[in-house]
Amino acid sequence: AQTVTQSQPEMSVQEAETVTLSCTYDTSENNYYLFWYKQPPSRQMILVIRQEAYKQQNATENRFSVNFQKAAKSFSLKISDSQLGDTAMYFCAFMSYPFSGYALNFGKGTSLLVTP
């Protein structure tokens, strides 16, 4: 079974600053993807960024980037130039393929507060 651990239940950052959210995972699978999802107070789940495990290059999406360390099984999310709209719960998720139904295995989440 895969486990996903987010060790920071809550974090706070000032607007325009940079913050890094941590995620580690445990798996014996070779084929997998990693994701970060954002859940604002509206409760909608929004995909932030995705990383294919076979790619060494770290994924980036505008102000969001990841630091993927495959050997260490670490997948952290960096948010640059934080904005008030980034306030949300952030979930790290793991998906192996082609088995297990391409289902997501989530961490418990990190609540991020961006302050003015």
Partner 1 sequence: DAGITQSPRHKVTETGTPVTLRCHQTENHRYMYWYRQDPGHGLRLIHYSYGVKDTDKGEVSDGYSVSRSKTEDFLLTLESATSSQTSVYFCAISDPTGTGRNNEQFFGPGTRLTVL
By CB under 8 A, name the binding residues for partner 1: 4, 31-33, 43-45, 47, 50, 52, 91, 95, 97-98, 101-109
| Residue placing its CB nearer to partner 1 in the complex, 34 or 79 | 34
Greatest Cα pair distance, the chain, in angstroms, is 45
The pairing of strands 110-115 and 88-96 is antiparallel
Sign of CA dihedral 93, 24, 55, 46: positive
Name the minimum Å distance from CB 71 to partner 1.
21
Name the minimum Å distance from CB 18 to partner 1.
24
Q: Tokens 């418990």 map to which residue?
A: 108
Name the minimum Å distance from CB 104 to partner 1.
6
Q: Tokens 């302050």 map to which residue?
A: 115
| Residue placing its CB nearer to partner 1 in the complex, 16 or 103 | 103
